[in-house]
């Protein structure tokens, strides 16, 4: 008979056994549900994962789209670049040293370095080792002629960008570089991988999606270890190597999907005119912009000094790449037409004259007397005219022709800063033009709001706008800055009858322009002044832009000399040539042609060129003669209609 102690020890054991049983049943139910989910519900998902583990996809790089100029000339295409590679597993061990020595004689590689690479990959003997990248045609011929004595050595071919005109238009075309992690994350929908080349600047970057193309691929049997590798057959087509890096035999799982080349890019650029503009600027620092004044199409946009984008893709150019990317001044990577800003100086007077006429604060008969200086309300500080002896009584036509500062001091006071800023922005100054290139600078036409925001943490008197600042702004000085491209857009607005155009390089983008900004009477008065500026009269005086005159053509223009430092700081120098280069004025000239097709607008900047009339005016004449075929290359066409 069990004792009382035994009953106490086993009391409740049946209940415990029941709970354990319930737990086992529940666990089995959970397992069954999970098995059902994995084998039935998620069958497709896991089957795909298994297939992905079994099959390896090798991308086949697509050719980038070609870039053409306006006449169908190819500016950028692709060439076949060949690399020499070696698969040590395909070469008998006793011949490895002999093959390395032979490669030294044939293509000039270091045999000791190659042998180190081979030894480092001894556990994966069928790995392709790069022997020499982007070999010359002569190197490739020598390798192929000696193929019988080079077991395991072969060449692989891939497309590489080629820029056929070297430095010409190089800053506009841009360059390629290896994609970085930020770009890879930002362009997830492009299908890129680390190591891919993408546009880093210029048109190559702006139209990356269009030019990139669609990569193809091959599907190959994959093993748990080993890496399948791509080779090139004798016809240049990509093929899969017979074995992977470990030595497993490989098979294609499906026919290859061939890559699709990127779409071509047809530009408005005239490469002949571009080359001429760059040649004219050679030795200077500056830019030339030539627009179709009616559409905004960029016919030429030169910047000096420039660079050849081929150095970013060609063999043996690493030193030059480093020099370019260092930012050493003058920066060859920066296109001065739209990425650098300068005080516009007297070319700003074109906008001021048009705004004042349109707002009716002056008319064609309004005259202001120029004694060589100006004082606000006849007292206080003197603002000098560039001609210290004065111009006498001037109307708007004469003031544009002779660039009278005092006339425009008076006009600026009548317009006031708010209307100056509004009209400047309407004509494309101090705002983005919308050109299809990355990195455009805005420039600045300063006003009340800008100054108040700039000095928000300073006393109220430093936030206020003063009449003296309007005086400086009236002749394009002070804090006012523009780009040469913006000034070409402003000039186009006058030439085409009062419409602000959006400059563009891609023909498919097409023209876009604003509503009409000025009445015909306003445009007529401004053109009269700009025509007089260029005309050569006998006897004098003649306008400040007479060096741009082209016989038999209706050329208009305006000079500008933008101060880098104040005139008083230059009095210590006996002549212009004694002034240090960095203290010299920038030379401007904007011009246009009215009686030819197409009508063009030109903007020229020579950094530290002293005077716009003498330094930039003759450049405008050369550009006009080159474009309209006053040289034998292109016959001039007289417009059927026009102003």
Tell me the mean pLDDT in the region 233-256.
Answer: 59
The reply to whether 222 falls in a domain is yes
pLDDT band at 289 (very low <50, low <70, confident <90, very high): very high
400 and 505 housed in the same domain? yes
Averaged pLDDT for residues 510-534: 95
315 and 409: one domain? yes
220 touches 55 (CB < 8 A): yes
Please tell me the pTM assigned to this model. Answer: 0.81
Q: Let me know if residue 241 belongs to a domain.
A: yes
Q: Are 326 and 435 in a shared domain?
A: yes
Q: Number of C-alpha atoms within 13 angstroms, CB side, residue 512?
A: 13
Number of residues in the chain: 643
| 421 vs 438: CA distance, rounded Å | 25
What Rg value do the Cα atoms of the chain yield, rounded?
36
| CATH code, 143 | 3.90.1310.10
Do residues 346 and 239 share a domain? no
As a whole number, mean pLDDT of residues 60-80 equals: 89
Residue 239 sits in the same domain as residue 295: no
CA-to-CA dists, residue 262 to 11, 166, 174, 211, 280, angstroms: 83, 22, 17, 4, 34
Assigned domain for 52 exists: no
Distance CA 404, CA 559 (A): 11
Residue 137: closest CA among 153, 157, 151:
157
Q: What is the domain-level CATH number for residue 306?
A: 3.40.710.10
- Low-confidence winner among 87-91, 281-285, 551-555 (lowest mean pLDDT): 87-91
Q: What is the dihedral of CA 298, 300, 303, 306, to 10 degrees?
A: 110
- 592, two tokens: 């246009």
Query: Quick one: 385 and 464 in the same domain?
Result: yes
pLDDT tens per residue across span 102-123 = 888 888 888 888 888 888 877 7
Asked whether residue 149 is domain-assigned, the answer is yes
Let me know if residue 202 belongs to a domain: no
Q: Which of 239, 258, 277 is the last residue of a domain?
A: 258
**In this structure, are 233 and 339 located in the same domain?**
no
DSSP 561-583: EE-SS-GGGGTT-SSGGGS-GGG
Confidence of residue 640 (pLDDT cuts 50, 70, 90): very low
Burial class (CB in 10 A: 0-12, 13-18, 19+), 98: middle
Round to the nearest angstrom and report the end-to-end CA distance of the chain: 131
The per-residue b/e assignment along 125-158, b for 16 or more CB within 10 angstroms, e otherwise, is: bbbbbebbebbeeebbeebeeeeeebbbbbbbbb
Q: Are residues 527 and 408 in the same domain?
A: yes
Instruction: Answer whether the bond into residue 330 is a cis peptide, omega within 30°.
Output: yes
Based on the domain organization, do 250 and 309 belong to the same domain?
no
SS3 call for 198: strand
Q: Which domain holds residue 115?
A: 64-164+218-258
Q: What are phi and psi of 163, to 5 degrees?
A: -110, 110
Residue 99 pLDDT grade (very low, low, confident, very high; cuts 50, 70, 90): confident
- Mean pLDDT, residues 316-331 taken together: 74
Of the ranges 82-91, 183-192, 288-297, 367-376, the best mean pLDDT one:
288-297
| 54 assigned to some structural domain | no
**Is a pLDDT exceeding 80 seen at residue 284?**
yes
Number of folded domains that form the chain = 2
For the stretch 594-630, pLDDT in tens is 999 999 999 999 998 777 778 888 999 999 999 998 6
Residue 153: pLDDT band with limits 50, 70, 90:
confident
With cut-offs at 50, 70 and 90, classify the pLDDT of residue 633.
Answer: very low
Residue 232 CB partners (closer than 8 Å, separation 6+): 82, 154, 155, 156, 157, 238, 239
Do 242 and 300 lie in one domain? The reply is: no
The 10s digit of each residue's pLDDT in 446-482 is 999 999 999 999 999 999 999 999 999 999 998 999 9
Same-domain status, 246 and 303? no
């Amino acid at each position: 008979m069990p004792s009382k102690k035994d009953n106490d020890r086993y009391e409740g054991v049946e209940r415990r056994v029941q709970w354990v049983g319930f737990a086992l049943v529940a666990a089995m139910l959970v397992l069954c549900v999970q098995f059902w989910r994995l084998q039935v519900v998620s069958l497709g998902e896991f089957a795909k994962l298994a297939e992905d583990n079994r099959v390896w996809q090798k991308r086949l790089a697509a050719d980038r789209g070609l870039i053409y100029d306006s006449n169908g000339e190819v500016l950028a295409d692709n060439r076949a670049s060949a690399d020499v590679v070696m698969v040590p597993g395909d070469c008998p061990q006793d011949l490895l040293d002999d093959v390395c020595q032979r490669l030294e004689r044939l293509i000039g590689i270091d045999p000791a370095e190659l042998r180190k690479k081979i030894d480092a990959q001894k556990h994966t003997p069928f790995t392709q080792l790069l022997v020499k990248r982007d070999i010359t045609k002569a190197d490739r011929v020598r390798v192929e002629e000696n193929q019988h004595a080079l077991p395991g050595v072969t060449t692989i071919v891939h497309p590489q960008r080629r820029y056929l005109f070297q430095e010409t238009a190089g800053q506009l075309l841009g360059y390629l570089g290896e994609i970085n992690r930020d770009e890879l994350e930002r362009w997830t929908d492009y299908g890129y991988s680390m190591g891919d080349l993408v546009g880093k600047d210029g048109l190559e970057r702006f139209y990356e999606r269009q030019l990139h193309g669609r990569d193809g691929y091959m599907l190959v049997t994959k093993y748990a270890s080993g890496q399948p590798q791509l080779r090139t057959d004798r016809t240049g087509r990509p093929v899969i190597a017979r074995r992977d890096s470990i030595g497993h035999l490989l098979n294609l799982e499906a026919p290859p999907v061939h890559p699709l080349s990127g779409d071509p890019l047809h530009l408005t650029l005239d490469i002949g005119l571009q080359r001429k503009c760059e040649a004219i600027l050679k030795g200077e620092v500056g830019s030339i912009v030539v627009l179709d004044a009616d559409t905004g199409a960029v016919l030429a946009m030169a910047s000096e000094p420039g660079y050849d984008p081929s150095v970013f893709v060609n063999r043996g150019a690493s030193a030059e790449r480093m020099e370019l990317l260092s930012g050493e001044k003058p920066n060859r990577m920066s296109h001065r037409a739209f990425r650098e800003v300068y005080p516009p100086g007297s070319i700003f007077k074109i906008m001021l004259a048009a705004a004042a006429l349109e707002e009716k604060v002056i008319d064609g008969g309004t005259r202001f007397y120029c004694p060589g200086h100006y004082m606000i309300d006849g007292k206080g500080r003197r603002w000098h005219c560039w001609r210290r002896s004065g111009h006498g009584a001037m109307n708007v036509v004469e003031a544009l022709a002779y660039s009278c500062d005092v006339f425009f001091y008076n006009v600026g006071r009548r317009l006031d800063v708010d209307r100056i800023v509004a009209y400047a922005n309407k004509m494309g100054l101090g705002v983005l033009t919308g050109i299809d290139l990355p990195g455009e600078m805005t420039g600045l036409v300063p006003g009340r709001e800008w100054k108040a925001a700039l000095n928000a943490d300073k006393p109220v008197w430093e936030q206020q706008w003063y009449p003296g600042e309007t005086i400086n702004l009236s002749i394009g000085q002070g804090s006012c800055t523009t780009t040469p491209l913006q000034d070409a857009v402003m000039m186009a607005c006058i030439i085409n009858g009062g419409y602000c155009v959006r400059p563009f390089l891609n023909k498919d983008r097409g023209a876009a322009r604003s509503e009409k900004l000025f009445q015909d009477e306003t445009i007529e008065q401004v053109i009269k002044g700009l025509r007089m500026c260029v005309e050569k009269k006998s006897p004098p005086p003649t306008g400040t832009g007479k060096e741009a005159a082209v016989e038999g053509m209706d050329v208009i223009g305006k000079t500008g000399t933008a101060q880098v430092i104040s005139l008083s700081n230059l009095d210590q120098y006996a002549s212009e040539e004694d002034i240090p280069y960095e203290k010299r004025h920038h030379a401007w000239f904007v011009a246009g042609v009215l009686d030819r097709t197409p009508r063009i607008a030109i903007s020229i900047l020579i950094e530290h060129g002293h005077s716009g009339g003498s330094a930039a005016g003759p450049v405008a004449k050369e550009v006009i003669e080159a474009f309209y075929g006053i040289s034998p290359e292109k016959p001039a066409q007289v417009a059927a209609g026009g102003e």
